[in-house]
Amino acid sequence: MSALQNGVRASVTKPELKLDWCSHEAAKYAVEHWHYSQRMPVGKSAKVGVWENSTFIGVILFAMGANKDMAAKHCEPREAAELVRVALTKHQTQVSRIVAIAVRMLHKQSEGLRLLVSYADTTQGHHGGIYQAGGWVYCGQSQASVEWFHEGRWKHNREMTGGPFGQKRRLATSELPSRKQPGKHKYLLPLDAAMRAQIEPLRKPYPKRVRGVAGDTSANHAGEGGSIPTRTL
């Protein structure tokens, strides 16, 4: 149906958007139902809930220092955080706008935070459209990794052998099925002028979308956003 009828432009009502800190239970529900991983990240996280017209539509999750190497050479581990999940159901607001508001909330309540990092999962066909829309700095792909099939699912090498989350177990992997995973697209968002001056020279041309996706764009995470359920960041 045309937006113009009898010379009168049809009105478009923008949804009422609200972001606020949410509970672990709400975040867990969103991730398990609306994120392709269906798993909460390990360790502590900052959880920003998202509502449209008073209806809960998802969560933006940040992990504080989850990856000790993610900001290497840029700043101290405590000065960086990772955007680890964008888990949204059907929504009208652009994902890039939702993420930008969540970033401002995190920055305001996190003294000393200077840099955000996030990854777009190439195995899910993601190229990082929401980061591009938000002006994040693309700095290439991360190193390839190895996953092991254990307890009915594929697990990253860090989860199997220990890693930055304080796991004490170190499981034998020699007899487990394994697979190599390509690197993910890495994006950085400097949060102060000095950090931006340091990060900007790392900027590379944005990668292009490799397959068609409905909606607008997509978090190490949430599909490509837009009017369809967001599956990954």
Give residue-wise pLDDT tens across range 147-179.
667 666 656 665 665 544 444 455 566 677 776
70/172 same-domain check: no
Spatial contact of 70 and 83, defined as CB atoms under 8 Å apart: no
Domain limit, last residue, from 179, 203, 224: 179
Q: What pLDDT digit, counting tens, does each position of 99-130 carry?
A: 999 999 999 999 999 999 998 888 767 788 99
107/196 same-domain check: yes
165/91 same-domain check: no
3-state helix, strand, coil in the chain (%, to 5): 20, 30, 50
79/107 same-domain check: yes
Q: Tell me the average pLDDT of the chain.
A: 78
What is the pLDDT at residue 167?
Answer: 47
119/82 same-domain check: yes
More confident residue, 153 or 5: 153
Which amino acid type is present at position 200? E
Q: Is 103 among the domain residues?
A: yes
Q: Is 96 among the domain residues?
A: yes
Phi, psi of 21 (to 5 degrees): -65, 140
CA angle centred on 212, ends 210 and 213, rounded to 5°: 115
More confident residue, 74 or 32: 32
30/90 same-domain check: yes
**Which of 16-20, 27-31, 182-186, 189-193 comes out lowest in average pLDDT?**
182-186
**Number of structural domains in the chain:** 2
149/99 same-domain check: no
More confident residue, 153 or 134: 134
112/161 same-domain check: no
What is the pLDDT at residue 64?
Answer: 75
What is the pLDDT at residue 77?
Answer: 85
CATH number at residue 101: 3.40.630.30
Q: Is 4 among the domain residues?
A: no
Q: Is 9 among the domain residues?
A: no
More confident residue, 7 or 142: 142
Q: Is 21 among the domain residues?
A: yes
Domain limit, last residue, from 154, 179, 204: 179
Q: Is 6 among the domain residues?
A: no
22/70 same-domain check: yes
Task: For residues 122-147, give the mean pLDDT.
Answer: 83
What is the span of the domain harbouring residue 164?
145-179
125/153 same-domain check: no
* Burial of residue 79 (number of CB atoms within 10 Å: 0-12, 13-18, 19+): middle
Q: Is 74 among the domain residues?
A: yes
0.85 exceeded by pTM: no
More confident residue, 40 or 3: 40
Q: Is 5 among the domain residues?
A: no
104/153 same-domain check: no
Distances from the Cα of 106 to the Cαs of 60, 133, 229, in angstroms?
10, 19, 24
What is the rounded end-to-end Cα distance, in angstroms, of the chain?
A: 33
152/50 same-domain check: no
Distances from the Cα of 220 to the Cαs of 128, 172, 197, 213, in angstroms?
9, 28, 24, 18
